[in-house]
């Protein structure tokens, strides 16, 4: 294992409403110096939830996504708010986005998005034992909720609008978890 | 399927060396208006490659990642440069990062990183039929190349420093591809 670089300073570069760019002045153990930019994460990370309506059925949403500029199919997700723990955030997000609460939540994995450039982390969570409970979120239009059978996971992977790396990964991790715990 | 929102304008907000924030002034089909920020992608996307040294062995790298501020284990990756197609970019990146060229490349999937907030796409690629060919990259220190047996994929998934969503997903997709094409 290499000796980590020394961080001489971390300086803010530019900020907008949502994004905060900072630069790290680094000196590697061999004396090489670099200035790297990254997106700072000021919040508490995000959650992405695989809600199981029953043992065979996942709930997805189809939502307009401003980044890619089109409707994308994926699992419900959102930011962890101040004072929430990650499981509370997961419960709230599925109430807002698919209209269910969950009695049972399991952390599948904490993942980084782009570790070279972003401080951000997302917690991938499996939700089971759902009960109807809708809470209004701040969505501009009603989200389309899309039930999908686990048995049809291959068809989901082949969908043209199911592109988000974290959602694709969560599908694999949920399948692994269910295989280990159910059968 | 819902009628997509009208994009009234797209305006630059702030820019740094690497990051370009813009805002979209949207009007949803129900008349709701929103201003959303996103990271614009000015380049040609990125590639992340699973290089197979032989049918049983993947090559990973361990690299200092300024976003998370620590060494991270993951597959080689990088930006697609101007004038390159994605398979050329994949070949160049593995020459620079693991010291091999590849006679055989397969696109596993094109994924979005965070479709709500980022325009960015990454192409996940499987590389086989490798041959030694090192090209100098712009790394500040030599990258540690880490061979990993496919049979030990569960141990890789359990590694504390293997956190990147795209690398985790690429591992699953590569296993699926190899199962379908080899055995």
CA distance B1 to chain A (A): 8
- Split at pLDDT 50, 70, 90, the class of B183 is low
What is the reported pLDDT for B92?
97
Cβ atoms of residues B124 and A168 within 8 Å:
no
Q: Which among A5, A6, A67 is the top mutation candidate for probing chain B, defined by the most B β-carbons within 10 Å of its own β-carbon?
A: A67
CA distance B101 to chain A (A): 23
What is the reported pLDDT for A1?
65
What is the reported pLDDT for A42?
84
What is the reported pLDDT for B145?
97
Instruction: Please tell me the distance from the alpha carbon of residue B74 to that of residue B77, in angstroms, as a whole number.
Output: 9
What is the reported pLDDT for A70?
96
Contact B168 A26 (CB under 8 A): no
CATH of A46-182 among 3.90.79.10, 3.40.50.800, 3.30.465.10, 3.40.50.150: 3.90.79.10
- Split at pLDDT 50, 70, 90, the class of A138 is confident
Other C-beta atoms within 10 Å of B103: how many?
Answer: 10
Percent of chain B having pLDDT more than 90? Answer: 93
Phi, psi of B73 (to 5 degrees): -90, 135
Percent of chain A having pLDDT more than 90? Answer: 94
CB contacts, 8 Å: A166 with chain B: 114, 165
Strand partners, B7: B26
CB contacts, 8 Å: A107 with chain B: none
Q: Which of B26, B64, B115 sits opposite A163 (nearest CB)?
A: B115
B55-80 confidence digits (pLDDT tens): 999 999 999 999 999 999 999 999 99
Which chain A residue's Cα is nearest to B117? Answer: A67
CA distance B133 to chain A (A): 24
What is the reported pLDDT for B41?
92
Query: Hey, what's the torsion of the CAs at B66, A118, A80, A44, to 10 degrees?
Result: 20
CA distance B104 to chain A (A): 23
Contact A5 B64 (CB under 8 A): yes
What average pLDDT does the segment B107-119 reach?
96
CB contacts, 8 Å: B4 with chain A: 64, 70-71
CA distance B45 to chain A (A): 12
Contact A64 B38 (CB under 8 A): no
Q: Enter the DSSP assignment of A80.
A: P
Q: Is the pLDDT of residue B95 over 80?
A: yes
Closest to B13 in 3D by CA, of B36, B32, B34, B33: B36
CB contacts, 8 Å: A17 with chain B: 13, 37
The burial of A21, by beta-carbon neighbours within 10 Å (0-12 exposed, 13-18 middle, 19 or more buried), is given as buried
Contact B67 A7 (CB under 8 A): no
Dihedral sign (CA A66, A71, A73, A77)? positive
What average pLDDT does the segment B104-115 reach?
97
What is the reported pLDDT for A2?
77
Closest to B166 in 3D by CA, of B112, B99, B118: B112
Q: Which of B16, B71, B113 sits opposite A113 (nearest CB)?
A: B113
What average pLDDT does the segment B113-139 reach?
95
CB contacts, 8 Å: B115 with chain A: 65, 67-68, 72, 74, 163-164
What interface predicted TM-score (ipTM) does this complex get?
Answer: 0.96
- Domain boundaries defined on chain B: 6-39, 46-182
CB contacts, 8 Å: A9 with chain B: none
What average pLDDT does the segment B78-97 reach?
96
Instruction: Please tell me the distance from the alpha carbon of residue A132 to that of residue A119, in angstroms, as a whole number.
Output: 35
A26-69 confidence digits (pLDDT tens): 999 999 999 999 999 988 999 999 999 999 999 999 999 999 99
Extract the tokens encoding B12.
Answer: 């630059």
Instruction: Please tell me the distance from the alpha carbon of residue A60 to that of residue A76, in angstroms, as a whole number.
Output: 7
- Mean pLDDT, chain B, as a whole number? 96
What is the reported pLDDT for B1?
65
């Amino acid at each position: 294992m290499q000796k980590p670089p020394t961080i001489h300073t971390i300086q803010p570069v530019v900020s907008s409403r949502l994004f905060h760019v900072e630069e790290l002045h680094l000196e590697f153990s061999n004396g090489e110096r670099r200035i790297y930019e990254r997106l700072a994460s000021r919040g508490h990370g995000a959650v992405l939830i695989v809600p199981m309506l029953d043992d065979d059925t996942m709930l997805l949403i189809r939502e307009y996504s401003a980044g890619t500029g089109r409707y994308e199919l994926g699992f419900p997700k959102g930011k962890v708010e101040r004072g929430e723990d990650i499981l509370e955030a997961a419960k709230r997000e599925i109430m807002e986005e698919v209209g269910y609460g969950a009695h049972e939540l399991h952390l599948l994995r904490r993942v980084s998005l782009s570790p070279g450039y972003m401080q951000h982390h997302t917690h991938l969570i499996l939700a089971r034992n759902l009960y109807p409970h809708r809470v209004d979120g701040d969505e501009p239009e009603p989200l389309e909720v899309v039930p999908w059978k686990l048995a049809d996971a291959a068809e989901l992977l082949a969908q043209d609008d199911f592109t988000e790396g974290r959602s694709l990964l969560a599908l694999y991790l949920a399948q692994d978890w269910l295989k280990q715990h159910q059968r």
